[in-house]
């Protein structure tokens, strides 16, 4: 299992009902099944060939529900909803269709939008780290309740770089240094200069 999937799996607690939206290969669902972490387990993918990969891996006799559907519809009613490897906009549309106790999310883009949507929907973000797995992946876990309260005090930089970006984290520091080095090679547009300043600020927090 890759580091990204390992971190995702480590965040899954015992739950009544679990759904992996966009399960594709099915490794996460297989982990939940083997560990007996949920009474009902749903593997969901909008693509029939992708879902078939999960079915072949886990087996139709496992009792896992294999659902070929849009997660925006299929996630409703589950206690734990995991969505990983999809764009942030897509993840927000899945989030809008359900109200689980737990979200475990790994957006590939628009992560700040996902953080804000979680807090606005009153989900508090309890885990927000970067996994390094060839590339850098944002991984979030949020629990229902307390999000709006946190939203009042959260900064723009926390929405962009991580709710806990003021706490030292070697992987985040490495990512930010790479981003900063890349920005140095880009044209000095107003936007790039602003972003470089932001990153320098967060790196300072990291090195405290």
Ligand X SMILES: C[S@@+](CC[C@H](N)C(=O)[O-])C[C@H]1O[C@@H](n2cnc3c(N)ncnc32)[C@H](O)[C@@H]1O
Q: Give contact residues for ligand X (rule: CB under 6 A).
A: 21-24, 44-47, 50, 70-72, 84-86, 90
CB of 165 to ligand X, least distance (A): 23
CB of 55 to ligand X, least distance (A): 13
The C-alpha atoms of residue 139 and residue 182 are separated, in whole angstroms, by 23
CB of 144 to ligand X, least distance (A): 21
Cα-Cα-Cα-Cα dihedral sign, residues 73, 74, 77, 79: negative
CA 49 to chain centre: 23
H-helix or E-strand containing 57? helix 48-58
CB of 22 to ligand X, least distance (A): 3
| 55 Rama sector, left if φ>0, alpha if ψ -120 to 50, beta otherwise | alpha
Query: Is residue 24 within 8 Å of residue 85, measured between CB atoms?
Result: yes
The C-alpha atoms of residue 30 and residue 82 are separated, in whole angstroms, by 13
CB of 137 to ligand X, least distance (A): 9
Cβ nearer to ligand X, comparing 44 with 119: 44
The C-alpha atoms of residue 7 and residue 43 are separated, in whole angstroms, by 19
Token pair for residue 173?
């520091």
Cβ nearer to ligand X, comparing 44 with 125: 44
């Amino acid at each position: 299992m890759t580091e990204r999937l390992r971190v995702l799996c480590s965040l899954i607690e015992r739950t009544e009902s679990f759904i992996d939206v966009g399960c594709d290969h099915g490794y996460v669902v297989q982990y939940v099944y083997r560990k007996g972490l949920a009474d009902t387990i749903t593997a969901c993918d909008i693509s029939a060939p992708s879902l078939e990969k999960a079915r072949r891996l886990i087996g139709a006799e496992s009792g896992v529900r294999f659902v070929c559907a849009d997660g925006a519809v299929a996630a409703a009613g589950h206690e734990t909803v995991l969505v990983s490897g999809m764009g942030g906009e897509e993840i927000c549309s899945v989030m809008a269709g359900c109200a689980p106790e737990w979200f475990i999310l790994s957006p590939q883009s628009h992560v700040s939008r996902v953080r804000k949507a979680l807090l606005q929907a009153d989900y508090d973000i309890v885990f927000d780290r970067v996994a390094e797995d060839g590339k850098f992946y944002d991984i979030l876990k949020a629990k229902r309740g307390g999000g709006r309260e946190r939203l009042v005090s959260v900064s723009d930089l926390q929405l962009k770089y991580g709710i806990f970006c003021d706490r030292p984290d070697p992987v985040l520091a490495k990512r930010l240094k790479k981003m900063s080095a890349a920005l140095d090679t880009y044209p000095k547009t107003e936007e790039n200069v602003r972003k470089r300043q932001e990153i320098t600020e967060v790196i300072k927090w990291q090195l405290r």
